[in-house]
Structure 1
């Protein structure tokens, strides 16, 4: 019996997406080809991997038992291919890099210019994304690398999280907001105040990103949250590098609540098995230095 990696990929794609049609869309192939791959795999393994009910499929007990090993097979295969590419010096000359806006725009602009000067042969595509979506878009290979606050903390064999430093997250409101005048803000009072929170497309539930207040508006960027806090009198949790100027100018105040100050890891996200691109090693070092000095 030989295991065909394309069949394993088809199996994992159906499990991850929840349906044959969605898996076919993700893998960019037709449903018939995907169904045939699963049937061939089940024949090779002499077992049924899915329980089929009409158009719905769910994992059989055997499917559940082998899913994690199948995932690891794909990760190992990707690692082998990447290692071979690294040894042969075959690095990508076009990179897609996503980042959130927890660090100032001026920093990313300066780093992009320096990166282009350091690696002139590489074409860079810099994309802004919500912090909550960074892991997901790397996992789906929509981008090559991503940088931002790590709210996920999930054990996913398909992803590598490289912490580059700590970043303080601060619950803030406008300095003339009633919350800023209280010596101590209770959970009840905070829940009644309008909050701006981080919105994201990732389908995984993430308690770290769930709004605290009963009334809230979700935005995909910290910058939009900041502008709404300043203009509409809401409160929200923002990264210190983005708001230090406003705190010093006393336009914003930190809310005196247990939710007020937390620390999160600022990470580089990559697909498991992908060796660091020299340009990304350079970029990660510069960001790490910035966070250390901040």
Structure 2
């Protein structure tokens, strides 16, 4: 038997069953009662079954019609999903976005951003991975992600990728107010060398690596939040992004070292493969990041030292 039923007829069947009358269904669909009635009668003729019992002006779905409702709803939903997917394709909207990022920006910001993305782009499949900035380039080079986001110096580069600077983040030399370095009116490089430096570590060639600095003792951890927390606990001094350190500087759990390079602006970068076809969602995401960095990336009122 050839398949002659249409999606329009399925919508009319669903509306009539849900609303209890052809007249109500017609109003909801913006059609005349006669047009919907004729279309449903044609559907019954095409399928060779009775879908409605008509008793005068009253209409009731048959048991068969009720059995078909779930399948009809699935067909309707699928048709709408296909139409929406085609529309998103024409609008340049990505179906999947895989992102690796560091934790230079607060986790609360990322949670709010993901919630907003999910509400704005409900069909998006989104993957977020967290890793130190030095590992982002490797992740991107391996094709595991579409975007790498984080605080990166110019040495971090991936062949075949595009580097897009979204804004600056102040990296701050911070320490607990109870730490010996906090009592010095001027901190020198020699002073720094004599105290433990809480450095970021990552996996690279040859195993676990750490940020290079001329100090006697380094304590390597994977993420900026751990570095900040350990500095707050008085374990050593650290270079921490301003968005993560700001609250603790304000409430006194951290203090900025009296060092000429206590505030070091560094680029917050998006690395993306040239093969990646970014679209509406990627552009939306990058604009949100630019806005956040413009408002919160730099340390307001930062001291300047000679």
Please give the TM-score of this superposition, normalised by the length of structure 2.
0.63
1:243 CA displacement: 0.8
Contact 1:96 1:144 in 2 (8 A): yes
Alignment of 1:56-67 (within 5 A): none
Matched residue, 2:141:
139
- Pair 1:288-2:290 in alignment: yes
Alignment of 1:273-284 (within 5 A): 273-284=275-286
Matched residue, 1:194:
196
SS in 2 for 1:276: coil
1:209 CA displacement: 3.0
1:106 to 108, 111, 115: 108
Matched residue, 1:258:
260
* Cα root mean square deviation, aligned: 2.5
Alignment of 1:161-176 (within 5 A): 161-176=163-178
Cα distance change on mapping 1:245 and 1:133 into 2, 3 Å? same
SS in 1 for 2:246: helix
Cα distance change on mapping 1:89 and 1:248 into 2, 3 Å? closer
Distance in 2 (CA, whole Å) between partners of 1:88 and 1:279 is 13
1:118 CA displacement: 1.4
1:275 CA displacement: 3.1
Consecutive unaligned residues in structure 1, runs of 5 or more: 1-85
- Pair 1:128-2:130 in alignment: yes
Cα distance change on mapping 1:154 and 1:242 into 2, 3 Å? closer
Larger Rg: 2
Consecutive unaligned residues in structure 2, runs of 5 or more: 1-87, 297-306
Please give the TM-score of this superposition, normalised by the length of structure 1.
0.65
Distance in 1 (CA, whole Å) between partners of 2:246 and 2:189 is 25
The higher relative CO (CA closer than 8 Å, separation ≥ 6) is in 1
Aligned pairs, number: 208
